[in-house]
Amino acid sequence: MELSLENKTAIVTGGSRGIGLGIAKAFHDAGGNVMLTSRKAEGLREAIESLGGGERLHYATGHVGHAEDAVRVVDETIAHFGGVDVLVNNAATNPHAGPMIDCEVSKFDKTFEVNLRGPFVWTQYAYERWMKEHGGSVINISSSGGYQTSAALGVYCVLKAALMQMTKQLAAEMGPAVRVNAIAPGLIRTDFARVLWDGERGDQIAQMYPMKRLGEPSDIGDAALWLAAGAPWVTGVTIPVEGGELVSVESELELS
């Protein structure tokens, strides 16, 4: 199947590195226009340079937890490229490690602001400004942790599970013009997850997976491209892309 995003425009939050950059590369390679957004301009400029630059790439700084930034970035995307056909809610944070019951309320609120409220606000505004009339696709980046409990990442996992449920709810409300789906990555080799895979621990975890390797940003990019360009009758689902982590017969894994 040849997947094309020619003449389509995507916004990728958290697009300057890791999974977001992997998705941006897949979309750009498929002919799409890509608006990258994250908090720091320097990282965004470096990301665009790594993708080869050109007129089909643009960036705008923004904090996904700030509604005013959603408004500004969506409007700038429409002004620059003429529309918003795909929204990827990828940006995430994890300020608390340890039992959920011990989480400070301020850290819980920060995680909620970025990991759940952020995707809602960005989706709502992209829908109001463009997708309601023209159609589109929303892709939320959840986590395999959303299917499990975790001794170290409980808050993160709870909100990623909530993101899966929000995906289903919005898909039911926004169809048929807009498809809403999610991807649940397993352990991906990114800086965000480095504490989980760096050193020998990463090799040990990889051996627990049926696929015997950890994920790469390109694995998530491929899945996102299929949802954006090759799945016209798919909506309301979360696709695990996790190397078989969820069916592993090895000991329980503590992964995001």
- Residues taking part in catalysis: 156
The whole-angstrom separation of Cα 117 and Cα 167 is: 12
The whole-angstrom separation of Cα 126 and Cα 157 is: 26
Helix/strand/coil (H, E, C) string of the chain? CCCCCCCCEEEEECCCCHHHHHHHHHHHHCCCEEEEEECCHHHHHHHHHHCCCCCCEEEEECCCCCHHHHHHHHHHHHHHHCCCCEEEECCCCCCCCECHHHCCHHHHHHHHHHHHHHHHHHHHHHHHHHHHHHCEEEEEECCHHHHCCCCCEHHHHHHHHHHHHHHHHHHHHHCCCEEEEEEEECCECCCCCHHHHCCHHHHHHHHHCCCCCCECHHHHHHHHHHHHHCCCCCCCCEEEECCCHHHCCCCCCCCC
The whole-angstrom separation of Cα 36 and Cα 50 is: 13
In Å, how far are 163, 204, 243 from 194, measured between CA atoms? 23, 14, 18
Neighbours of 56 (CB within 10 A): 17
